[in-house]
Chains A and B, each alone.
Chain A
Amino acid sequence: MAERLPNKKENVEGGEAFFENMQNGERDAAKGVLSTIDKIPKGLRKGILMFAAAGTILSATEASAYHDSRHRNTIEWDRIIGVAAQAQVVIEEIIRQKNPYENRRYESSREYRMQAEALRQKAYQEYHASIQRTESYFRQEMNRLDNTHLPPYEKARARNQLIAQRNDGIGVAREDFAMKMRQAGESERYANDIDRGNRR
Chain B
Amino acid sequence: MVPEEEIKEKLISVISAYKDFSDAEKAGWIKTLDAVPFDYQIFLLGLFETSPEDILKLNENIKAKQEILESGDEAAWKELLEEEKKELEELAAKGEEK
From B36, B54, B77, A56 is in contact (CB under 8 Å) with B36
Is the pair A50, B66 in contact by a Cβ cutoff of 8 Å? no
Is the pair B95, A51 in contact by a Cβ cutoff of 8 Å? no
Which parts of A96-121 form the interface with B (CB within 8 Å)?
Answer: 97
Interface presence of A193 (CB below 8 A): no
Is the pair B89, A90 in contact by a Cβ cutoff of 8 Å? yes
A43/B94 contact (C-beta < 8 A), A30-B37, A86-B85 known: yes
Interface residues on B, range: 20 to 34
A68 to chain B, nearest CB (A): 10
From A30, A60, A97, B32 is in contact (CB under 8 Å) with A60
| Cβ proximity bits A146-168 to B, threshold 8 Å, 1 near / 0 not | 00000000000000000000000
Complex interface: chain A residues within 8 A of B4 (CB): none
CA distance A114 to B81 in the complex (A): 17
Which parts of B43-98 form the interface with A (CB within 8 Å)?
Answer: 43-44, 47, 54, 57-58, 61-62, 65-66, 69, 77, 81, 84-85, 87-89, 91-92, 94-95, 98
List A residues at the B interface (Cβ < 8 Å): 23, 26-27, 30-31, 34, 40-41, 43-44, 46-54, 56-64, 76, 79-80, 82-83, 86-87, 90, 94, 97
List B residues at the A interface (Cβ < 8 Å): 28-29, 31-32, 34-37, 39-40, 43-44, 47, 54, 57-58, 61-62, 65-66, 69, 77, 81, 84-85, 87-89, 91-92, 94-95, 98
